[in-house]
A and B are shown apart, each in its own frame.
Chain A
Amino acid sequence: MWYYEKKLQYPVKVSECNPMLAKFLVEQYGGADGELAAALRYMNQRYTIPDKVVGLLTDIATEELSHLEMIATMIYKLTKDAKPEELKKAGLGDHYVAHDSALFYNNAAGVPFTAAYIQAKGDPIADLYEDIAAEEKARATYQWIIDMSDDTDLNDSLKFLREREIVHSLRFREAVEILKDDQDTKKVF
């Protein structure tokens, strides 16, 4: 089971109301390489992966949920004071008519989240390579968002998240090596 802790993993501050930035950020909320997809992907792969890497998948999945909460906090803070007119100007008019100021699991283009984003092949190496690719794609997306943002407070939190993708990718690469070593020893009968 899981416990909730009433704190963010890393502080989230925003300098000013900026619905346009929130529209971009939602890519990491309900997009293909976003935090929701990441958490669900790793949690789901745990059941059929060798025991040696179940701990890692559990822990990274859990950390991703805390990142999902950080992204939600960013979107919430960037949009909470926005008037309908400002949302419309930022390209969030379509969002407003369906959801008011509620958050929704969709990507930056408004496409709803789908389980099709989450791969599970049942082959441990294939699954871990998928995870490495997902982390690298998420890292790249964070970079593109930082490139378009001039909110220094927000960028500080985004840089933290970008760095976490790099660490997760490294840990998954190590997990691949651990499984390859195991595979090699098993070949000696």
Chain B
Amino acid sequence: MSKNLPPEFYSLLEEIQAVDFVIVELNLYLDTHPQDLEAIKQFNEMTLKSMELKHSFEQQFGPLMNFGRSFSGYPWSWNETPWPWQV
């Protein structure tokens, strides 16, 4: 079920979780403060940063998202563990 994961798996995943958390926070803030230009700039910067980090994670550890939001290797890599609760 769970396999031995290299330390980079955890460090890169944590980096993604940190950046994505900033994005969630900015997103909710902007939902009620739609005129805040600085926050929108930060949101767009962090979105780009998140895309870069996920690209690098997926190259090493397989797809993060389903339904065409990530590319697949061969064989079909979506089924590969670990699932989030197995990390």
Q: A interface vs B, CB < 8 Å?
A: 3-12, 53, 55-56, 59-60, 63, 69, 72-73, 76-77, 167-168, 171, 174-175, 178
Q: From B20, B32, B85, give the contact of A174 (CB < 8 A).
A: B32
Contacts between chains A and B (CB distance < 8 A), count: 63
Query: Please, how many residues of chain B have a CB less than 8 angstroms from a CB on the other chain?
Result: 24
B13 CB–A CB distance under 8 Å? yes
Q: B interface vs A, CB < 8 Å?
A: 13-14, 16-17, 20-21, 24-25, 27-29, 31-33, 63-67, 69, 83-85, 87
Distance to closest chain B CB from A7 (angstroms) = 6
Distance to closest chain B CB from A168 (angstroms) = 8
Q: Is the interface of B mostly helix, strand, loop or mixed?
A: helix
Question: Complex Cα distance A170/B16, Å?
Answer: 25
Asked, given contacts A11-B14, A171-B32, A178-B32, whether A73 binds B84 with beta carbons under 8 Å apart, the answer is yes
9 contacts between A and B (CB under 8 A): A3-B69, A4-B66, A5-B65, A7-B84, A56-B32, A69-B85, A73-B85, A77-B85, A171-B29
